[in-house]
Chains A and B, each alone.
Chain A
């Protein structure tokens, strides 16, 4: 408890590679939730104790594949109702997951627990520069309120630069129907 500032949490984490359960990296982090204004994202500092695996080859394969598509990629409901993701859409799923992490970070308080529930819709937007652009509509699940929150986001990616969320917009209620 930091007087007049907020609440700081000290974390020791073990990061597990989603694609290789035996590959783990330890991490320490400090998270500061600010007092008062709930519209400021928590401050996060972290230190990785080790190295993350290189994904250069897989990145290159994905990048080349998407760049060479004639028609812009469009997909819905990832995963589907039964939790399945077609293998060729898995990178798009992983990309959404990372990008949603940014949304979660920017919108978290000590009283929320946000998770990506599903990609409702994704559309590739071809660009004249070297970046891949995907416009997503994702559904976030907030555990405490149990709400499903639709959220639009524009995600740019390049093997060299990684993920950027260049635009995002929370959408009105999912449960009105």
Chain B
């Protein structure tokens, strides 16, 4: 939690590493944590944000999965929960949220990498965030960070119908992607999840949005497939550095557009 005081201030939630194999995201989370702390009192935008809002950053959002990518299977995506009646392990934590749960783009097969789980929020990693955001009551933005594809996405994934705030989200995404590209020329596409990447029921940002968190975005970081999940560690700093202005754009927008 990054806070300069107050109580129950409007807040921004950021998570990285919900899919354990997406290693550039946890690394970006650490860099971003340092950046936020460094820039308070230095950068006018960061200072303005933290003077009125809190930032919550969860870096290893899927710890069991992350441990497993180190010990056994570098390309593990899901949680490590045991599935009753199956030899297959784990639930896709980004299909386990109660928004379009069980819909297109998620699987009912425990052996699948998009298995949605036996019921919404069955995964403790997901339930913990649900309880936190509900309990907090004043979260204004959720940014969930993934890799790879180089995309900035917003609801919905569970339906092709545009969200009521589609226009505003689209404009903000356009700006954020432009500011990201200005750093090293990295090109991102943007749009709703269903339009831009694929249909996906039960995602983090769809749940957050449907529970009153308007500025809910998913980022897919570098690259576009050449290295994929095995992004060389030499690209961590450039990735985190270019992502920062995009994050800042979203946070500043949340600050300047209270609701």
Give the B-binding residues of A (Cβ under 8 A): 18, 77, 79-84, 115, 117-118, 139, 141, 143-148, 173-177
Contact = CB atoms under 8 A, between A and B. Distances in A.
A147 B113 contact: yes
A37 B105 CA distance: 22
A143 to B, nearest CB: 8
A117 B75 contact: yes
B88 A175 contact: yes
B88 A79 contact: no
B182 interface: no
B230 A145 contact: no
Contacts, number: 69
B229 A79 contact: no
B198 interface: yes
B92 interface: yes
Interface in B104-125: 105, 107, 111-114
Given A144-B198, A174-B75, A79 B113 contact: no
Q: Which 10 A-B pairs have the closest CB atoms?
A: A83-B232, A115-B225, A146-B113, A83-B230, A82-B233, A79-B230, A81-B74, A148-B75, A147-B113, A83-B231
Given A83-B233, A147-B113, A177 B73 contact: yes
A139 B90 CA distance: 20
Contacts of B227: 79, 83
A143 B34 CA distance: 32
A145 B229 contact: no
| A interface secondary structure, majority | loop
B232 A139 contact: no
A100 to B, nearest CB: 11
A118 B75 contact: yes
Contacts of B89: 177
B72 interface: yes
B257 interface: no
Contact of B230 (A118, A144, A147, A176): A118
Contacts of A115: 225, 228
Contact of B75 (A83, A139, A173): A139
A175 B112 contact: yes
A10 to B, nearest CB: 20
A138 to B, nearest CB: 12
Interface in B82-114: 87-90, 92, 105, 107, 111-114
A145 B73 CA distance: 18
A115 to B, nearest CB: 4
A175 B113 contact: yes
Given A83-B227, A174-B75, A145 B114 contact: yes
B214 interface: no
A176 B111 contact: yes
A145 B197 CA distance: 12
Contacts of A77: 74
A84 B235 CA distance: 11
